[in-house]
Chain A
């Protein structure tokens, strides 16, 4: 058989094979989100009617669950908390990581290798290993039960990851460019901020996106360090505080899940390619 030339029939068969296998996957991946949305738009009578078809909204779309969420709960406060925490923690971590990443990727000084290893090991430490002692650290710092408990602790997983990712990006910038700037009399800090940073913008966008997503989505610390309803994040508020007594009100729970996921979905759709490249770089360059 001649390489690269295939009959029309086998091409079509191969395409059908591909789609036939991909469609179940896509269905499996997306169904929970579809079900979230459908549930949030149904009346309670339909939700809890065993005869109704769960996939459809049969007795008319309603917005009661959303209205309940916005006007009768602290949902908007939780969204605001999440936004503040994510923006502040991500920006602080970005600043720290740019400096550390540049230093580890580009400068030579005694111990640079072991610092790099230390950052990498910290990157692999799962948050669940340290959440108990950290819950005491935030008590001692006097920030327990406030959004500051999260702003202060989130950089512990953001900085190692971001530093690691940025090191990869800094290494791809040709060294000659920096040397030219230094010879021309720019200081090291000017070289970093005016020459290197503009060239590493894709990396910085990536780190910002991942930082924002992982802080917005964070659950362990947010559940552990904050118990006051008014200081909760959106993810924990919806998961823990929309349950009244022991009863799950699935309509409003799913409405909360939809709205609290929305910012991430919007950012994700907008920057899809950055997510893919960041995900690959973060894991594979390690």
Chain B
């Protein structure tokens, strides 16, 4: 066997050739670097390098098919003076804050419901997580049909329940309704993520804490405020940070549901960058728009790292 041969070879005074390479490879540091090189090369070549390019693009007059010249901060000056961009900034904050708050509140509520003992637990849990697993672009396509201007099933139901007068709102055709629709779909898709992770947090809370609180005379609301919430705080912090960054940088939902319409009123940074940079071909300006996602990313990474270190 190979191992046996190597032991015999080891008797020789100095290992040579292949044996020396093998010995070198067995050193912890060498082996460690060796294993991590493919991943680092990938990150350097396809994440760090494109990021540098994004910065270069944003400072130049770069169009699809024609590398332009350095123009300093002109792109940023242009977009900051553009009404569509300013509206996109506003949208991003409204969309992210409302969606994350709704997902958080409803997610904790749903997790508490799922935590109770009931029948068909696995089945119901599986059903609740489904919107998160199915290809988003395809489920959003179904929502687009549900919000159709003429055949909307949402309106049909509301009209027949006597809640609204026919024909009902044109969901994707009016700015405010379209924003509501985009937020609703985002909550629909992101809620399971919150619920399942918070549920895992609930499971890890020792039962004794609840029993002690009950002995002290705490009602169910008191138990929630004084036991559940404080102990969920670390889990909640992580989920909220994750969700914030992925909601803020969302592309699929807006792109499929409204493509930023009607008349550019529902754009987020990613969809506007797509429209300007690829549909319009102005890569320089597109890159400077998508770079606006970066400050929030830095903030969240900073909070995460500090938080992890504290743990």
Residues of A within 8 A of B (CB): 1, 3-4, 14-15, 18-19, 21-22, 25-26, 28-30, 32-33, 35-36, 39, 47-48, 50, 54-55, 95-97, 99-100, 102-104, 107-110, 112, 115, 117-122, 124-137, 152-153, 155-156, 159-160, 163, 185-189, 213, 216-217, 219-220, 223-224, 235-236, 238-239, 248, 250, 253-254, 256-257, 260-261, 264-265, 268-269, 272, 275-276, 279-280, 283-284, 286
What is the minimal beta-carbon distance from A258 to any residue of chain B, in angstroms?
A: 9
Encode B134-145 as 1/0 by CB contact (under 8 A) with A: 111111011111
Task: Tell whether, in the assembled complex, residue B278 and residue A284 are in contact, meaning their CB atoms are under 8 Å apart.
Answer: no
What is the minimal beta-carbon distance from B273 to any residue of chain A, in angstroms?
A: 6
What is the minimal beta-carbon distance from A166 to any residue of chain B, in angstroms?
A: 11
Report if B19 contacts A (CB, 8 A).
no
Residues of B within 8 A of A (CB): 3, 6-7, 22, 25-26, 28-29, 31-36, 38-40, 42-43, 46-47, 49-51, 53-54, 57, 109-110, 113-114, 116, 118, 122, 124-139, 141-146, 148, 150-151, 153, 156, 188, 191-193, 196-197, 200-201, 211, 214-215, 235, 238-239, 242, 245-246, 248-252, 255-256, 269-270, 273-274, 277-278, 283, 286-287, 290-291, 293-294, 297, 300-301, 304-305, 308
Known: A30-B127, A284-B197. A133 touches B36 (CB 8 A): no
Q: Which residues of chain B come closer than 8 Å to A275, judged between CB atoms? A: 129, 133
Residue from A28, A119, A128 within 8 A of B249 (CB atoms): A128
A275 to B274, CA, bound (A): 31
A202 to B137, CA, bound (A): 29
Known: A29-B188, A35-B153, A119-B39. A133 touches B127 (CB 8 A): no
Residue from A107, A115, A257, A284 within 8 A of B235 (CB atoms): A284
Q: Which residues of chain A come closer than 8 Å to B196, judged between CB atoms? A: 276, 279-280
A55 to B146, CA, bound (A): 11
A28 to B109, CA, bound (A): 15
